[in-house]
Each structure stands twice: as C-alpha cells, then as structure tokens.
Amino acid sequence: MEPPALDLALDAPALTAQLVDIPSVSGTEGPLADAVESALRALPHLRVDRYGNNVVARTETGRAERVLLAGHIDTVPIAGNVPSRLDEDGLLWGCGTTDMKAGVAVQLRIAATVPEPNRDLTFVFYDNEEVESERNGLRHLAAVHPDWLAADFAVLLEPSTGEVEGGCQGTLRVRLRLPGVRAHSARSWMGANAIHAAAPVLARLAAYEPRRPVIDGLEYHEGLNAVGIEGGVAGNVIPDACVVTVNYRYAPDRGEEQAIAHVREVFADCGPLEIEVTDHAPGALPGLSHPAARAFMAAVGGQARPKFGWTDVSRFSALGIPAVNYGPGEASLAHRRDERVETALITRCEERLRAWLGAA
Amino acid sequence: MEPPALDLALDAPALTAQLVDIPSVSGTEGPLADAVESALRALPHLRVDRYGNNVVARTETGRAERVLLAGHIDTVPIAGNVPSRLDEDGLLWGCGTTDMKAGVAVQLRIAATVPEPNRDLTFVFYDNEEVESERNGLRHLAAVHPDWLAADFAVLLEPSTGEVEGGCQGTLRVRLRLPGVRAHSARSWMGANAIHAAAPVLARLAAYEPRRPVIDGLEYHEGLNAVGIEGGVAGNVIPDACVVTVNYRYAPDRGEEQAIAHVREVFADCGPLEIEVTDHAPGALPGLSHPAARAFMAAVGGQARPKFGWTDVSRFSALGIPAVNYGPGEASLAHRRDERVETALITRCEERLRAWLGAA
C-alpha cells in the first residue's frame, strides 16, 4: 500500500484534514511522522533531522534571531471521529482537528511558504504529548539533541483560539489505592469492601473547590479530578483493592512539592490509603514581560490570556527559552467526541505568522 | 499423558485431595468430569449418564423413595493454592477444598460404598456453579434432562460446616452506569466527571444497613456490595462513563421483583444513573417443615441454620423438590486464598449420610 502523503500546496484547512485522516494516536505516530518528514525533505531550503517519530526542520540563513515553531503530532484515542468532515459552516470535525493538527498544518504551511524568513526558523514535530510525560518526544529531543532546539523564542501551536496564551498550568497524576479484605459476597461482613472505601475519596473530589489565582494579571483555574477508577475481583467476591487515578491541574504559582502536599492534604482524612505519584509536569509562569514575547505580541496583536492546560511551553521555560502558546484550535473542544476547529481561525493564524516571519 | 484418575477406595479426605489436585475452575471442568464419570462407571450398581461436563449416576433398586445428593465440581479461580496440602492439624488447604470438593468426595464415597441403599439414590455432579446463572450445569440438566433429577428430597453438599442449613438467599447483580461529559482534564469545568458522579452511590453502599429477617425461625443476613467498578478514558480526560457492578444478596422472603425494586429505591436519589440487571438467582425458603426434611434432620441430628450464600437448593425448590444444604466445608472460608477444610468434618459428614442411607 502507498504510504499516506501530505500536499503542502494545499491551504492550511485542507492540509489539516489530510493530517487528521492519517491516524496518530499516541504511540502510533510512525506513518504521520513519515509523511511529515517526507514532505519537509522535498523543501530545499530546510535541513531535516529525525529522532524516533520526532522530526525537526531548520532554515540556516544566518539571521540574528531564531524562532522555533513547535507542535505535537499525536492525538488522544479516536472516538468514532476519523476521518475528518468539513461542514457547510466551515467547521472541520474530527479527532485532533483542534488539538492540534490545525497547528501542525500552520507549521507545515509556514515551512513551505516562507523560504527566506526574517528570522531563522526551526520547526519541531514531536510525538507522545497526550500521554505520560516520560514518553514525550520534546522531552526526548531536549535530552538527546538539545542543539536541535536552540532558539531565542518559541511559539507552541497548541489550541489557543488564535490568541496568545502565556504560561501554563502544571499537571500531577497520582494513584490512590484503597485497601480491603476479600470474602464471598454472600457473607460480606467477613471482608472489607475496598470499593466502598473509595466513597469518601469520590465525595471529596465531587465537592472540591478549585483555586483561581491571578498571576501576572492572568487568572488561572485549577482542577482536581478522578481520571480513572478500577476495582473488583469477581461477581461474587468482596474486592480487596480499588485504585483511583487522580489528575491535579495546578496554577504556575505552585511547584511539584506544593502540588503533592496539597493532594495529600485533600485526602488526609479519607481513611487509610496509599498515594503514589505516577506522572508530573511542572507549570510555567506567564513570562509575558520578556522582550521576545513582547515583540511577538505586538506583531500578532490581541490580548494575552492564561493557559489552563499543561503544554510544552513549560519544557521550553525549563530550557531557558521564552515561549507562548498561539494556535488556531479551541482548547475547550480538545479530547471530545465532537472535537472540531474553525477553518477561518486556521487561515488567520497562518496569515499572522507569515506576516510576522516573512516581513522584509 | 495419562488422564487424571480418582480412587474411590481412598477415605473421603484423601479423595478430597485428589479432587482438588485436578484443577476445575469454572469452564475448565472437562478433565475432572472425565475422572468422575470414569470412576462411577466402574461401579456396577449405578447407571451413569453424562451431559456436557455434568455427570449423573443412579441406583435403580425400586425403593419407595428417592434421595438426590448434588454437588458442583467447579471452583473459583486458583490463587496460588493448588495443589492441596494437608497440615499436621488435619486441615486440608487449597482451592475448592471447602467449596466444595469435600462434599463431592462424600458423594463419591456414598456412591461407592452403599450399593444397596434404603432409598434409591441419585448422584449429580455439575459444572459452572461459580459463574453466571446462565452457565450453571444444574440449570441445563433441569432444562434438558429433568427426568434425571426426579427425586423426593435433595441434599446439596455445599459447605455448611456439617450442619443442616435451610433455604438460601437470593442473588441479584446489577450494573449502575453513571453518565458524564468528556473534556480535557485541564478544563474540567467544561465536562462532567462520571467517576465523581459515583460518589453518592459508593456513599450509599458504605452506609447501607442490611436486613436480618427471621424466617421459619432462621435469621438471614443480607448484603449489598459493589463487586466491581470501572471508569476512565485516558489520564488527561474527564471520563464520560463509570460503571459500578453491585451484588445484592437477599433473604428468601423476597422475590426477584422485590429485590430489583429495593435496589432501585436504594439508589433513587443518587443522581441520574441507568440500572441494568445482569444476573439473578432467586432464594429458597427454608422448607424445614416438609416431612422429608424432618426425617433427614432426625437422622443426621443437630440444629438447622440459615444459608446465607445462594445455592442450588433454590433450583430444587423451583422443581418442587424439598432440599437442604448439608456439607463438610465451612462457607466463610470459601473463595479465599487460605481456603481449607477440616478433614474430621468430611469423615463425620460421610458417616452420617452412610448411616442414614445404608441403614436396613
């Protein structure tokens, strides 16, 4: 079978549809990475490198400043929403439309149509953003090929509805394990039901009031949620274990230790349970006062907003590269069965970036 | 390889060990059914029939009364507790020792050692008792070969610590499905968390006070328990579904409809949820006032007790055959990693049944 191919001569909305129609759920990005690499290698003004399913392309024109445009190519699991569908209102529907193949399409269009940029450009396409931080492709690039990521300023094309979003919230994932004692369910009083023991944990989560702190003038919005629960041995057995996986999204005025301490405190009086941290990625402060961020803001216009979701701006932050989120998707539509993107926003985002980077 | 064989000349405890050492988790009873059938066919005073992995043997001596001795040959999943182990205190350890290969051993010993019983005897060995009612071998026999089960009185050798247990509790299994709306966990307020929606369900279960009604002088003890819970889409997604599987064990003064109505009532104000009945087996009233039951009680002695667990006495009840539980195992040790049986109880049970059925 012919490997799927991308046509960079298409406009960005049509290219987004092509990208959506090559499924790339985290861990299965190979075919899409191949297509991206192959399309970029056809452009003579770019140097292209690949590591795993991560593809990096660069202009090397000797400009004084280098800007990096980054996007992840993976998606959450498909929920009956591939292939993509364009409706009569100009909405493109499908898994990954908003998060973030629309942004990837804009990256590819800039790569193809701005051969002589006013700043040197680096395009980063990476895998496994939607899963545990340990698998994140940008993390691996930062560890193995940090030179590929060198830049003065980074724009991450994560969905931000075409507005600039500063900073991002951190994310902490923990497993809460409730204990129990097995018994036959006909004599339940001989055992201790671990699923019932999760009742106060779920009650605490359901009643939780998240913080909404204001940082650098931006109001963040935290969240503490069960994202998984599992318990049960057999239909006639009182279960001796129940595990609740909890995701804490926290504002960037907190660090990892404070986040863990907060979670422990929330569940402190929910009975005996074990807490295990399984995944963590720190937030990033807005950093909008940085000169490069100011210049970018002036060029694309609009008012900066806070970023609720964790994004890899945090990783650029840690590398010392000021970074913002600026992408055509709408973050609140991400990870939904009815995920979609306004094609007009894709076009606008592409035009503004081209105007900024292509201006003489 | 030689198929496993049973030696009916062994005493009942040693025969129990042989039975335990032929694994027969529900759905894999073939080798044990073969061994039982083969051992019984060697006894010239019995007529032997087989249907699937169910084996039925009968004396046909023309007595006025027929007694049926029944036992299931399957076990719950093995938990590192096979082969069996006899300790210095006369305890036989292993999966199925108490539930109910000790009872099956007693059946086989009576079959082998009472060639001229004072009542005609039917021995029933059946499969799939530990799983959904639809797979139960006794149910299939009742549907396909009801004549094989014809009897005036039935003794089910389910674990009852060598005491007579009357009736049994019913069992109802339902799935409670909590609704939700998916969203990215960084913007949890855009979705509705189905796992959090299970909080009132688990709180209700944890606080549930079971009934303990007295019926025919026997005190029953109900139970309402979560035996499974499942929810979650991905580590960064607010889940749109959570399913709690609940097992209601109810006293035999209630029927199926009352049991379902009770479960609906318990969860009536726990928010929107769907209730689906997945499995049901009715209870059986003690029936100890029946003449055949009285005669049996007089012969084996002791004081009748209520049966908490569901057993197939309910199925005999429905066929119009008075039935009791009377077996050497201890029910509270069933389905446990440390399942075991007192060998002295096996011997006593065998002796009492032989005295009753073999007396001139």
Q: Which of B225, B258, B281 is the last residue of a domain?
A: B281
pLDDT mean across residues, chain A: 94
Better-predicted residue by pLDDT, B310 or B341: B341
Mean predicted confidence (pLDDT) in A299-317: 87
Please give the pLDDT value at position B360: 64
In a domain, B63, yes or no: yes
Q: What is the CATH number of the domain that holds B202?
A: 3.30.70.360
In a domain, B6, yes or no: no
Amino acid identity, position B123? F
B176 and B74 housed in the same domain: no
Measured distance CA(A28)–CA(A33) in Å, rounded:
10
Query: Is ipTM strictly over 0.85?
Result: no
In a domain, B7, yes or no: no
Q: Which of A263, A281, A299 is the last residue of a domain?
A: A281
In a domain, A87, yes or no: yes
Please give the residue range of the domain that contains residue B195: 170-281
A320 and A348 housed in the same domain: yes
Q: Which of B242, B257, B281 is the last residue of a domain?
A: B281
Question: Please, which pLDDT band fits residue A360 given cuts at 50, 70 and 90?
Answer: low
Contacts of B225 in chain A (CB under 8 A): 185, 188, 193, 195-196, 238
A290 and A277 housed in the same domain: no
B52 and B75 housed in the same domain: yes
Task: Say if residues A308 and A291 touch (Cβ distance below 8 Å).
Answer: no
CB contact under 8 Å between A335 and B234, yes or no, is: yes
Measured distance CA(A178)–CA(A270) in Å, rounded:
10
In a domain, A3, yes or no: no
A182 and A220 housed in the same domain: yes
Mean predicted confidence (pLDDT) in B49-64: 96
In a domain, B1, yes or no: no
Whether residue A257 has pLDDT greater than 80: yes
Chain B nearest CA to A244, separation (Å): 9
Give the best residue of B335, B337, B338, B339 to mutate against chain A (max A CB count within 10 A): B335
A227 and A352 housed in the same domain: no
Number of domains in chain B: 2
Please give the pLDDT value at position B294: 82
DSSP symbols for A302-358: S--EE--S--THHHHHHTT--EEE--SS-GGGTTSTT-EEEHHHHHHHHHHHHHHHH
Please give the pLDDT value at position B85: 97
A229 and A289 housed in the same domain: no
CB contact under 8 Å between A279 and B238, yes or no, is: no
| Nearest C-alpha in B relative to A169 | B186
In a domain, A7, yes or no: no
B207 and B268 housed in the same domain: yes
Please give the pLDDT value at position B311: 85
A63 and A151 housed in the same domain: yes
Contacts of B237 in chain A (CB under 8 A): 76, 227, 335
| Nearest C-alpha in B relative to A249 | B186
Task: Say if residues A192 and A285 touch (Cβ distance below 8 Å).
Answer: no
CB contact under 8 Å between A225 and B193, yes or no, is: yes
Amino acid identity, position B128? N
B277 and B289 housed in the same domain: no
Q: Is B64 helix (H, G, I), strand (E, B) or coil?
A: coil
Percent of chain B at pLDDT above 90?
81
Q: What is the CATH number of the domain that holds A87?
A: 3.40.630.10
In a domain, B80, yes or no: yes
Chain A nearest CA to B298, separation (Å): 28
Please give the pLDDT value at position B22: 98
Model confidence over A65-104: pLDDT tens digits? 999 999 999 999 999 999 999 999 999 999 999 999 999 9
Measured distance CA(B351)–CA(B343) in Å, rounded:
13
Contacts of A279 in chain B (CB under 8 A): 235
- Provide the β-strand partners of residue B246: B174, B226
A96 and A176 housed in the same domain: no
Question: Please, which pLDDT band fits residue B260 given cuts at 50, 70 and 90?
Answer: very high
**Which are the catalytic amino acids of B?**
74, 129
B212 class by beta-carbon count within 10 Å (0-12 exposed, 13-18 middle, 19+ buried): exposed
| Nearest C-alpha in B relative to A201 | B199
CB contact under 8 Å between B171 and A231, yes or no, is: no
B236 and B162 housed in the same domain: no
CB contact under 8 Å between B130 and A236, yes or no, is: yes
What strands lie across the sheet with A170-179, from one edge to the other? A274-281, A170-179, A241-250, A223-232, B223-232, B241-250, B170-179, B274-281
**Which are the catalytic amino acids of A?**
74, 129
- Provide the β-strand partners of residue B184: B237
Model confidence over B317-329: pLDDT tens digits? 889 898 899 999 9
Please give the pLDDT value at position A30: 97
Whether residue A290 has pLDDT greater than 80: no
CB contact under 8 Å between B206 and A184, yes or no, is: no
Give A31's Cβ-side CA count (13 Å radius). Answer: 14
